[in-house]
Each structure stands twice: as C-alpha cells, then as structure tokens.
Amino acid sequence: MHRSELTVDLGAVRQNVRTLLHALDGSELWAVVKADGYGHGASDIAGAALGAGATALCVASVGEGLALRRDFGGARIVVMGPATTNRDVAHARDAGLELVVSDTDIPPGVRVHLKLDTGMGRWGLSELPVPPVEVVGLMSHLATADTDSAYADWQIERFRQATHGFSHLTRHIANSAAALRYPAARFDAARCGIALYGISPFNTDPAEDGLRPALAWRSYLAQVRLLQPGESTGYGRRFVATVPTWVGIVPVGYADGFRRDMTGTEVLVDGEPRRAVGTVSMDAFAVELDRERPVGTPVTIVGDGLLIERHAAQAETIGYEIACGVNSSPARASRHVTGG
C-alpha cells in the first residue's frame, strides 16, 4: 500500500471553469497553473481547463511555461513573473510564450503584457508608457479582492482610468476572488487560479461560490495502539493520555505536506471526524481514536467533505499554501486523475 494517495478530479475542474465563465459573463478565463497547478498537476489541470473553455494558461516562470509548451503546442501561455535574464527572454521568444513586463525595457520580438501597479505595491509600472507594438495586454493585480472591497474598488477604478484609451489591448486585473465577486473587475480576461481547484479564495466554504474541490488525499492507519494514562505519542510528548486512549499512526507527515501547524485539525477515520494530536513528524502523524480500529482503516486528509480550508484555519494560513505544499512526488504518494 502507498503511504498516501492523491486523486485529482478533472470533472470538478471543468465544473469550476464553467462556474467562473458564468460569473465572468463574456470575459475570457485564463487558467493559472503555476506551482504545478497549485500542487494538483499543471498539465492535467491545464488540459481540463482549456477543454472546458479557458483560453490561455498563466504561469509564474519561463521554466513553467516551457514545460507546458511541450504538452500544449498551440495554447496561449502567459508568464506572469518577471523574466529576468536574456536567456529567459530568448527561450520565451522561441517557445512563443507571452511575458509580463514591469518596466519600460520591453524585449523585442516577444508578445508582452505591461503590468501597472495600481496598489499591490509589488511589481508594476506606476504609469503606462505609450505601448510599443510588442504589447498585447495591459494588466494589474489586486491586493485585497478577498478582504477589503473598498481598496479593490479603488484599484479597479485606477486601472480603468489608466487603460481607458487602450481598448484594443487585452486588459486584465481580476483573480479568482474578483472574478467571482467584482463584476467591475472583469474587463477582457480574468486570471483565475485557486477557484479552478475548488478552493475558496475567501477561505470559506467553496460551495458558497459554487466551487467543487478537485483534490482528495487519502491514507490509512498504519499502526494502532492503546496509550495508558501518562503515555504519549510523538516528539516532545505534546500529547499525553490522561485516560486509556486509542491512537492511530498515519504514514503522512510534514514532508508530504501535512504541516506541523496542522496539529489539532480533523481528518476522517473511516468517514468519522477525528483529531490529529501530538507533534506532526516528517513522515507520520497521530490521530486520536474513539475505539480500537483495525490497521488499514482508511483515513481521509482532504476530500469526502473535509475541506482544505479546515486545515488552513488550523494552521492559520490560506488554502493556497496547504495545496501548494502537498508533495505529489511518486516517491512519497501515488497520484491518480479521474474524470479525464
């Protein structure tokens, strides 16, 4: 038996694409598949998203773009991060990737999106130059689409004013949160990542926005033991039994993406919610059981109704970070794709 099993449901991805297209009401949907498709597998997600109506792929680096180019010969691929070296630019040109440029130094012979900083305070020009012929798009990025609507509205308005005279170029500012909840942010295209995977950009239940999680992560009880009062499990003796307590050991740890700060979160033991207890180690964590369970009992870490958002809340982070952290290396987990 594998230590754990990852299942990616492409049917859910296609449904999420349709939900986003509906919300976008005519604007294009560009599928953001950086960081190996937020841990889900970039190529599989890209294929499903393009098949369901997305019209471009977005990644963070030229390397990610080149890897996708092998599987998607004709697709538009936009590299959102800065292409810093001449070598990157040459590779992008040869592979027909589009680049995002945040200064006035525009490389020749490659299609470019100019990035305007409307308030993210990270990459971007503070003012648009007259765009040379290489420029096909104008973009910006929202800092608070998931938290502060007044600031997001202000950024959207700044973008609208700054790009007003350039309606012949593709203008794009929306991420998932804005695509779902800010009609004014739609412009010509939206760059959506997290929602494709059925994870909430708002760290709430994705069903509120009509999204369906694509990832399931399952393992099993590899060891079951009865702790007597005063006995503990794991490093540092963080969990000490006060009454006789059954615990199960799951062969998944922080090297697999089950982070140390997920102690206290829930997993499903044969469908029943049970608490992860004690210190998470590199290759295992413990779960408190209500009774003796056989070795081999299935444990769901994500899926079957248990949301990544639940773990994110426990770890005081966002679903994005949990998803990107899942280790899908075949040396650690088996991976399956359904609905393809």
Ligand X SMILES: *Cc1c(COP(=O)(O)O)cnc(C)c1O
* Residues in contact with ligand X by the rule CB under 6 A: 32, 34, 80, 141, 175-177, 191-194, 201
Instruction: Output b/e per residue, 132-152; b: 16+ Cβ within 10 A.
Output: eebbbbbbbbbebbbeeeeeb
Residues taking part in catalysis: 34, 235
* Complex with ligand X: residue 123 or 154, whichever CB lies closer: 123
Half-sphere exposure of 131 (CA within 13 A, CB side): 26
Tokens for 157?
A: 């308005």
* Complex with ligand X: residue 38 or 285, whichever CB lies closer: 38
Task: Map tokens 């945040």 to a residue.
Answer: 102
CA 218 to CA 8: how far, in whole Å? 12
Nearest distance from C-beta of residue 206 to ligand X, angstroms:
12
* Complex with ligand X: residue 16 or 176, whichever CB lies closer: 176
Rounded to 5, what percent of the chain is helix, strand, coil? 30, 25, 45
Nearest distance from C-beta of residue 193 to ligand X, angstroms:
3
* Complex with ligand X: residue 37 or 251, whichever CB lies closer: 37
Nearest distance from C-beta of residue 222 to ligand X, angstroms:
34
Nearest to 36 by CA among 50, 46, 27, 24: 46
Nearest distance from C-beta of residue 201 to ligand X, angstroms:
5
Task: Map tokens 């589009």 to a residue.
Answer: 98
Residue nearest to ligand X (CB): 193
CB atoms within 10 A of CB 331: 6
